[in-house]
Amino acid sequence: MEPRPDLRIVLAFLRELRDHNEREWFQANKGRYETARAAFQAVVGELLSRFGQVDDLGGVAVKDCVFRINRDLRFSKDKTPYKTAMSALLGSGGRKSTGRSYYFHLEPDGLSMLAGGLYDPTSAQLGKIRKALAEDAGQLTGILKKAEFVRHFGSLEGESLKAAPQGYAKDHPDIALLRMKQFIAVHELNDEAVADADLVAHSLTVFKAMKPFVSYLEAALE
């Protein structure tokens, strides 16, 4: 097996891109970008090759999981052309996965993360999750209380309504969960953790702790 690339080159490139987010600089540093992208993709490839320890992703390829660095500017007021992170969605459909999936994100200065859940659910998806929680939130609350989940994620993250959602009593025993508009588990990685030789093994451990959570969401949405 070839030695794993040093991901510090990824962080260094992204840090400079953040300070020079313009096409001229990017084109002048295209070689560095290609080297950083190859390093990132190599680590994603290693993750996928060992992901059987966590979940069956159905043989998805690296190219299907990795997001493009170019930003979609069509509906954005921010016209900077490039993302200042490299990321991949590990799921049976790659970055187009709609079922359970696992997010791998590298960004300098302590902004890297391992994450999963519902970041931008539709109204219909929120309705299904809330219906499942209103009927019995015990399964989800049990998952969130597991030692492995607490150790790696602490608690759920995401925006919440200030009041009870329409159709639900404000004194419902699980109103805090029902008010949530996002259901996200996040494990932060500092730059030292990204550069560590155990990054892939650590990521697999974190994703294994995440699996019951993303599996619950997947089942609730079916």
Q: Is the pLDDT confidence value at 149 over 80?
A: yes
Stretch 84-101: mean pLDDT: 94
Residue 164: alpha-carbon gap to chain centroid:
27
The pLDDT value given to residue 3: 65
pLDDT: which is higher, 122 or 74: 122
- Across all residues in the chain, what is the average pLDDT? 95
Sign of CA dihedral 21, 24, 29, 30: positive
Q: Is the pLDDT confidence value at 4 over 80?
A: no
Range with lowest mean pLDDT among 75-79, 83-87, 111-115, 159-163: 75-79
Q: Is the pLDDT confidence value at 12 over 60?
A: yes
Q: Is the pLDDT confidence value at 147 over 70?
A: yes
Q: Is the pLDDT confidence value at 88 over 70?
A: yes
Q: Is the pLDDT confidence value at 18 over 70?
A: yes
Burial grade of 196 (CB within 10 A; 0-12, 13-18, 19 or more): middle
Give pTM, 2 decimals.
0.94
CB 100 within 8 A of CB 218: yes
Q: What is the pLDDT of residues 187-214, one digit of tens each?
A: 999 999 999 999 999 999 999 999 999 9
Place of tokens 């299904």: 128
The pLDDT value given to residue 75: 80
Domain boundaries, the chain: 8-221
**pLDDT band at 85; cut points 50, 70, 90:** very high
Q: In what order do the strands lie in the sheet with 183-189?
A: 86-91, 101-106, 112-118, 183-189
Q: What is the pLDDT of residues 23-76, one digit of tens each?
A: 999 999 999 999 999 999 999 999 999 999 999 999 899 999 999 999 988 888
The pLDDT value given to residue 136: 93
Separation of alpha carbons 12 and 28, rounded Å: 16
Mode of pairing for the β-strands spanning 86-91 and 183-189: unpaired
Which CATH fold topology does 8-221 show? BirA Bifunctional Protein; domain 2 (3.30.930)
Stretch 115-130: mean pLDDT: 94
Q: Is the pLDDT confidence value at 78 over 90?
A: no
The pLDDT value given to residue 153: 98
The pLDDT value given to residue 2: 59
The pLDDT value given to residue 99: 87
Stretch 110-122: mean pLDDT: 95
